[in-house]
């Protein structure tokens, strides 16, 4: 059955969506990662184990895994953490990378995503890492190029590699190890607080974490967290009172207020800080042992204070570090057949359904 592709523009951009009817579709490459919903528990276990292997491997040996393979980073949005960690991950595996941004390419002149993807493939790209302001853009690129596509964030849809590095951070904190099952995180409660409605990070985590037994609580005011969020996946809860949510939490994931996406919404930022800010007093009173996380970029003094972001409970820097290992695993999975990855790493790299 063909995939349904929906492109929705979520911020001003020079990018032009392509008519789905006009696309010559190719099968989606099994090395692609477009959504966390594509990953089984076996896939998660394989990726986490592979990330552990790659992180500690001799750099001179690791550098030969994808020696001179060609990877394109196609970024229609600005990025620091995601773009840099994907680039460092690719280079750590020996691959050559090329960065294509909207401001320094034919995209600025109105070139479509389809034509950009075909151009990159014709120039020898073997994998494309895509960040786009359009929800669904990675699916379009996967079906028009036939290349493995890694979704580095698409509109308000998903950010799967961020959810994977968040999972690795949580597992490392709990000392659970990479061998995960459906019950590995049973009894663990994760609260995600902030601009849930616009957050691709929240969506990817809400789809991923319950697979391992996590109880997910979403917290925020109605304009940023509609009741419909509970329909995203079975078992998701909404708690409007941040203090009550904190009191139940083992992990607290704060999200920034995405001012660029708030057009038409009525939100009093001072009231928001009073009710939902992660500050020293609130964390000490209600979640003194909880792990504090944030995908970045952080708006210090709004959703979180510097004292909490830099405090002893914070795992924010660990999240950034974990991004390189996870993205190395994703890139190797994209470009290396399962059997080859088995022989090289000594761990199973599971196949995906596509």
> Are residues 197 and 154 located together in one domain of the fold?
no
Domains held by the chain: number? 2
Asked if residue 134 is part of any domain, the answer here is yes
Is residue 221 located within the same domain as residue 123?
no
Sort 94 into a burial class: Cβ within 10 Å, 0-12 / 13-18 / 19+.
middle
Predicted confidence at residue 323, as pLDDT, reads 98
Position 105 scores a pLDDT of 64
Q: Are residues 281 and 248 in the same domain?
A: yes
Query: 101: exposed, middle or buried (C-beta count within 10 Å: 0-12, 13-18, 19+)?
Result: middle
Residues 180 and 244 in one domain: yes
**3-state class of 234 per DSSP?**
coil
**Has residue 3 been placed in a domain?**
no
Q: Give a yes or no: residue 2 inside a domain.
A: no
Domain that holds residue 98: 8-159+323-337
Residue 330 belongs to some domain of the structure: yes
Q: What is the pLDDT along the chain (354 residues), one digit of tens a residue?
A: 434 334 444 443 333 443 344 445 678 999 999 999 999 999 999 999 999 999 999 999 999 999 999 999 999 998 999 999 999 999 999 999 999 987 766 676 778 999 999 999 999 999 999 999 999 999 999 999 999 999 999 999 999 999 999 999 999 999 988 999 999 999 999 999 999 999 999 999 999 999 999 999 999 999 999 999 988 888 899 999 999 999 999 999 999 987 766 666 778 889 999 999 999 999 999 999 999 999 999 999 999 999 999 999 999 999 999 999 999 999 999 998 664 444 444 444 433 333
Is residue 87 one of the residues assigned to a domain?
yes
- How far is Cα 178 from Cα 47, in angstroms, rounded to an integer? 8
Question: Are 167 and 125 in the same domain?
Answer: no
Same domain membership, residue 242 and residue 95:
no
Q: Kindly provide the b/e burial profile for residues 31-62, where b requires at least 16 CB atoms within 10 angstroms of the residue's own CB.
A: bbbbbbebbeeebbbbbbbbbbbbbebeeeeb
| Co-location of 274 and 179 in the same domain | yes
Of how many residues is the chain composed? Answer: 354
Are 91 and 167 part of one and the same domain? no
d(Cα 292, Cα 317) in Å, to the nearest integer?
11
**DSSP output for 250-277:** SEEEE----GGG-TT----HHHHHHHH-
Q: Are residues 106 and 15 in the same domain?
A: yes
Residues 154 and 192 in one domain: no
Q: How many Cβ atoms from other residues are within 10 Å of residue 198's Cβ? A: 22
The pLDDT score that the predictor gives to residue 232 is: 84
* Sequential DSSP letters for 133-200: SEETHHHHHHHHH-S-EEEEEETTTB-HHHHHHHHHHHHHHHT--S---TTTTTT-EEEEES--TT-H
CATH number at residue 124: 3.40.50.1370
Angle 267-163-12 (CA atoms, 0-180°, nearest 5)? 45
pLDDT value at residue 258: 76
Would you call 304 helix, strand, or coil by DSSP? strand
């Amino acid at each position: 059955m063909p995939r349904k592709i929906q492109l929705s523009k979520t911020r001003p951009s020079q990018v032009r969506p392509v008519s789905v009817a006009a696309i010559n579709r190719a099968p989606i490459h099994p090395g692609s990662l477009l959504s966390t919903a594509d990953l089984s528990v076996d896939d998660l276990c394989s990726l986490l184990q592979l990330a552990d292997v790659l992180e500690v491997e001799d750099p001179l040996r690791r550098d030969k895994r994808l020696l001179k393979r060609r990877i394109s980073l196609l970024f229609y949005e600005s990025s620091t953490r995601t773009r840099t960690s994907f680039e460092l991950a690719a280079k750590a595996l020996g691959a050559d990378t090329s960065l294509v941004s909207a401001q320094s390419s034919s995209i600025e002149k109105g070139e479509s995503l389809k034509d950009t993807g075909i151009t990159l493939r014709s120039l020898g790209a073997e994998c494309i890492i895509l960040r786009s302001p359009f929800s669904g853009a990675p699916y379009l690129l996967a079906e028009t190029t036939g290349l493995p596509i890694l979704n580095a964030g698409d509109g308000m849809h998903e950010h799967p590699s961020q959810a994977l590095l968040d999972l690795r951070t949580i597992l490392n904190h709990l000392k659970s190890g990479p061998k995960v099952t459906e019950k590995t995180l049973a009894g663990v409660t994760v609260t995600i607080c902030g601009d849930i409605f616009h957050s691709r990070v929240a969506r990817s985590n809400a789809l991923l974490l319950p697979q391992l037994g996590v109880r997910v609580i979403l917290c925020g005011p109605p304009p940023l967290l509609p009741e419909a969020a509970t329909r995203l996946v079975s078992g998701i809860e909404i708690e409007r009172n941040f203090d009550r949510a904190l009191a139940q939490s083992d992990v607290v994931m704060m999200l920034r207020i995405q001012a660029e996406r708030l057009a038409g919404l009525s939100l009093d930022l001072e009231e928001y800080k009073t009710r939902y800010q992660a500050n020293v007093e609130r964390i000490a009173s209600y979640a003194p042992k909880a792990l504090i996380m944030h995908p970045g970029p952080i708006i210090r003094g709004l959703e979180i204070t510097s004292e909490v972001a830099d405090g002893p409970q914070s795992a924010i820097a660990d999240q950034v570090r974990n991004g390189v290992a996870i993205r190395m695993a994703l890139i190797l999975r994209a470009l290396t057949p399962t059997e080859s990855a088995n022989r090289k790493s000594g761990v199973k790299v599971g196949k995906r359904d596509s």
